[in-house]
Every structure is written in structure tokens, then in C-alpha cells.
Amino acid sequence: MNTSTDTTWQIGGATLHSRLLIGSALYPSPAIMTQAIRASGAQIVTVSLRRQGVHKEAGEGFWNLIRDLDLHLLPNTAGCHTPREAITLAHMAREVFGTHWIKLEVIGDPYTLQPDPYATVEAAKELVKAGFEVFPYTTDDLVVAHRLIDAGCRILMPWGAPIGSGKGLVNPYALATLRKAFPDIPLIVDAGIGTPSHAVQAMEIGYDGILLNSAVALAQDPITMAKAFALSVLAGRKGYEAGTMQERNFASPSTPTIGTPFWHQEVEA
């Protein structure tokens, strides 16, 4: 199944066909993870760092599996709550994964996992100065987006909904506002996507890509769901490129009215 677009796009200096970015966590098994990632057609996969010896899956075994996929790696700073933690983890990730890409996450609230905008901007400034291509996980707040761009970010990744919630686009108006405000910045909806239709919705309003993990990994059949998301991202993008019709508040018949059968003009007596 070919789910790549016939056009390419650029992000972080890479030229890609797929507009789906996928996570590597929460799959029922390493084998299903690799099959689902391949089935998604994604060319960017997110990874992380954790203490060795605590997670027995961490280290060489996982690293070898991911390396064999031969995809662009996007390490994250998940679990960081301060700029200092995120900056240190980004440097460690650059050494382990050999990439200057970093998905910057600085969490400000433990219940919603909402990113801390102040800490994210502060960390972004330092990381851009240190040569990183920062993919900032942010809310859909327009002013925060401006500050991240001012900090040197060339990509924005607003949430659709809280991480792992699967609620879809909670505030499509705010996401559409970001699209209008930053027509030339790659925009990725990161977090909150639960179903393929959520991905279609984001792509139809002109987002450049979708980053998701739980929606595929926690599906009853992750491999089939990965294919579904590949198709939905493609469908949404094509819908955006084609230009949707203007919505109307009234009905308008699509079948010609001229020559309607059985019609006759009322004749007054």
C-alpha cells in the first residue's frame, strides 16, 4: 500500500514523503512496534532516554531495533520539568542518537501534562544557540507560538489534546489560527490524536503533519491502525491541497432542476 504523497515536504532539513510522525512507545511487543512503524509509512520516529539498569528494555537491544528501521530519529525530553533538565537531556540525546533534532517537552502540569510555556521558550532559546533543531511541544496558544519562533524555533508542534487522551482536536479554532498566523512554518499536531478522523481534520486545516503514538500502539490491532493513519493523513492532505468547498447555511440541490420530471406549473382556475 503506497501511502506516501506524490509530493515531498521539508522539515528540519529533511525531505520527506510521509507526513506522519510516529512514536515507539506502548506497543504490545517490540515485533509489533517495528511492524506498526513500517506499516505507518512514517519516516520520523520518536525515541527517548532513560536510566540504564532501571528499564531492562533500555539500551542496546532497543537501539539496535530502532536503528534497523533506518528512519529519522526524533529524541524527546519527556519527563523534564525545568529548562535545565531538558537542555541536559537534549545534549545527552544528541550524543546517543547522533542527531541535532530534539522534541522539546517541558511539562508544567502533572495532571494534564500541559507544557510549561515559559520553561519551553527558555529551553528553546538555549538549544537553538547550541545548534539544535528544536521541535517544540506546545499548546495551541498563539502568543507562546510567537515567542517560540522568536526563540529561533523553525517548527511548531501544538497539542490537539493532552498526551495520551485520544480526544482529538479540542480547539480546532486555535489550531486554525496558528495555521493562518504561521503560513510558512511547519506545523505538526502533536498529542491527543485518537482516531484516523482526528488526523484528517488536522490535515484538512492545513497542518503539515501529525505526530502520534498511543492511537496506534494502544489500538486492538496496531499494525492495521498504523495503515489507517497513513491513509487518513494522506486523505486529509489531499483534501487540503484540493481546496474544500465553501460551507453554506442552506440547501442547494446538486441534481439539475431544469427538466425535473413530473413537475408542472400550477394553473390558476
Partner 1 sequence: MAESSAHNTPPITVHVNGEPRTLPAGTNVREMMEHLDFTQTGSAVAINLTFIPTDRYEETPIHPNDTIDILGAIYGG
Q: H or E element: which one contains 75?
A: strand 72-75
| 43 contacts partner 1 (rule: CB under 8 A) | no
Candidates 11, 18, 43, 75; binder of partner 1 (CB under 8 A) is: 75
Main-chain phi, psi angles of 212, to 5 degrees: -145, 165
Planar angle of CA 112, 113, 114, nearest 5 degrees: 85
Instruction: Tell me whether residue 103 is one of the annotated catalytic residues.
Output: yes
Whose CA is closest to 31, among 233, 241, 258, 222? 222
Show Cβ contacts of residue 116 under 8 Å, excluding neighbours closer than 6 positions: 81, 106, 107, 108, 109
* CA pair distance 262, 238, nearest whole angstrom: 40
By CB under 8 A, residue 33 contacts partner 1: yes
Question: Which among 103, 125, 167, 227 is annotated as catalytic?
Answer: 103
Does residue number 52 form part of the binding site for partner 1 (CB under 8 A)?
A: yes
Min separation Cβ 146 and partner 1, Å: 26
The residues in 195-224 that bind partner 1, with binding defined as CB under 8 A, are 213-214
Stretch that binds partner 1, among 20-28, 141-149, 232-240, 248-256 (CB under 8 A): 20-28
Distance from C-alpha of 112 to C-alpha of 109, rounded to nearest angstrom: 6
Q: Does 84 bind partner 1 (CB under 8 A)?
A: yes
* Residues acting as catalytic residues: 103
Site of interaction with partner 1 (CB under 8 A): 23-27, 33, 46-55, 57-60, 62-63, 66, 75-76, 78, 84-85, 88-89, 91-93, 95-97, 163-164, 213-214
